[in-house]
Chains A and B, each alone.
Chain A
């Protein structure tokens, strides 16, 4: 009886682990929109009164 219970528990743990692993695979492309805190955005983009600074190259 006890062995059967332990076997069932192992199965549940394995199933949860597998589901978690599968759902966590790859890039989370779920169309969820994040609004970026304006404090972290260059001020000249959102504030119409500020002039645009000289461009600096960035790399992706």
Chain B
């Protein structure tokens, strides 16, 4: 059966454990304290009640022996003890006190007293629990009963109950507070692991957990670091392998391209063979592009050194890229006031990334419709817009992943690496790239770079 309660987190579990422990301990402590206190005070009250009854019974016996006024003696006893007194002499009953009109509180004691025993009992037949003492007086053929309310004892026990309940509640509260601190202390190393994992996921493969002297965490730290070492070395190995393969394939691909070029110009080639050669050439161009993109990505993955960076006006870079890609100058929209619009970049990489965006628009968006440079607070946006079918919202993040080719574009030109190169280049320059919807239709690729003055 599945629990309807939500699953508890580690923090909640630790706090709950501390609170439960504190509650159990405080309840046990409170019950033990209360029982021993109650036992002691009740016993004291019983003892004093018996002594009072013995003393009063002695006086009654003396009065009855002297045949003095019984009623007056009973009244004086009642005044000194505040109890209800019942006295049987022969067949006659005498009663004084608040409960003198009924002998119900002493009924259960009478048989024991008749047997000649002194009897004691606690009764609930009165409004306040009362002690009942019965003393036989065989010398004067009488029985003496004293019913004394234990109001003060009841009040004392209630005070003890309330005090212990408050103490138990405070102890439980202290357990919750202690559990909260303990949970925080326990979660600190886990937060460190989570931070390190997030940095590694963001590409900082040299991130490791700091060594610790805590014996409980040593295994976690060493296992985590060993795992990251393994993953890092595997990634480096894979990257190196891809780079080596790409470099090794470059020469045979160049030879194939040259040979195909020769074949294409052969006048003796039949129409069928010429078509086959054309198809081979198209695929070879695509293959060569994929190789070039893989090599470019490998270079980007090895990061850019500060020495390759230079501060240049962003408008110059965009203008040069547009010229290199034979774009109509009318499509370029640069801000009128471009003062201070300088970016700190590796020019080759940025120009290659922007060219990739233009090539993407040409191949999949029906051609570039505009390139706009927008100056925003602290950064600059370069928009490459097209009028094509656009990119569905759910695919706008995925298209920057390596070898991602959407729908009908799968069979089209391109290696599936161009946008990955753009994304990696933007990231290395502290910028971003994203795909938005163009109005009224098409895609708007926004390449963002921080301004040089903001990075200083």
Contacts and interface: CB of A to CB of B under 8 A. Distances in A.
B58 A45 contact: yes
A47 B137 CA distance: 8
A32 B28 contact: no
B154 A26 contact: yes
A59 B119 CA distance: 20
Interface string A13-56: 11001101100111111111111101001101111111011011
A-B CB proximity, top 8 nearest: A29-B129, A48-B139, A29-B124, A36-B118, A27-B129, A35-B117, A29-B122, A52-B62
Contacts of B52: 58, 60
Interface of A: 10, 13-14, 17-18, 20-21, 24-36, 38, 41-42, 44-50, 52-53, 55-60
Contacts of A44: 58, 61
A17 B157 contact: no
A54 B58 CA distance: 9
A24 B38 contact: yes
B108 interface: yes
Given A13-B24, A24-B35, A52-B58, A34 B121 contact: yes
Q: Which of B23, B61, B117, B119 has the most CB of A within 10 A?
A: B117
Given A27-B157, A34-B119, A56-B55, 7 more contacts: A21-B30, A35-B117, A42-B58, A46-B136, A55-B58, A55-B59, A60-B52
A47 to B, nearest CB: 8
Q: Which of A18, A42, A52 has the most CB of B within 10 A?
A: A52
Contacts of A33: 108-109, 112, 119-121
Interface in B108-152: 108-109, 112, 116-125, 129-130, 135-139, 148, 150
B284 to A, nearest CB: 63
B159 to A, nearest CB: 12
B281 interface: no
Contact of A28 (B20, B42, B48, B136): B42
Interface residues of B, number: 52
A36 B61 contact: no
Contact of A14 (B27, B35, B49, B139): B27
A27 B150 contact: yes
A30 B130 CA distance: 11
B20 A10 contact: yes
Contacts, number: 116
Contact of B157 (A26, A30, A41): A26
Given A13-B24, A14-B24, A21-B30, A28 B122 contact: yes
Contacts of B54: 41-42, 45
Nearest to B107: A31
Q: Which of A31, A34, A44, A60 has the most CB of B within 10 A?
A: A60
Interface of B: 20, 23-24, 27-28, 30-31, 34-35, 38, 42, 48-52, 54-55, 57-59, 61-62, 65, 81, 108-109, 112, 116-125, 129-130, 135-139, 148, 150, 153-154, 157-158, 161
A42 B51 CA distance: 9
A30 B187 CA distance: 54
B55 A45 contact: no
A45 B135 contact: yes
Given A31-B124, A31-B125, A42-B54, A24 B34 contact: yes
A38 B120 CA distance: 13
B27 A21 contact: yes
A55 B62 contact: yes
A29 B31 contact: no
Contact of B57 (A45, A53, A57): A45
Given A17-B27, A35-B117, A46-B138, A57 B55 contact: yes
A44 B65 CA distance: 13
A10 to B, nearest CB: 6
Nearest to B134: A33
Contacts of B117: 35-36, 38
Q: Which of A17, A27, A30 has the most CB of B within 10 A?
A: A27
B31 A21 contact: yes
Given A34-B119, A36-B120, A20 B31 contact: yes
A31 B109 CA distance: 9
Contact of A53 (B58, B109, B118, B130): B58
A20 B38 CA distance: 13
A35 B117 CA distance: 6
7 contacts: A24-B38, A29-B124, A35-B119, A36-B120, A45-B57, A47-B139, A52-B65
Q: Which of A10, A13, A42 has the most CB of B within 10 A?
A: A42
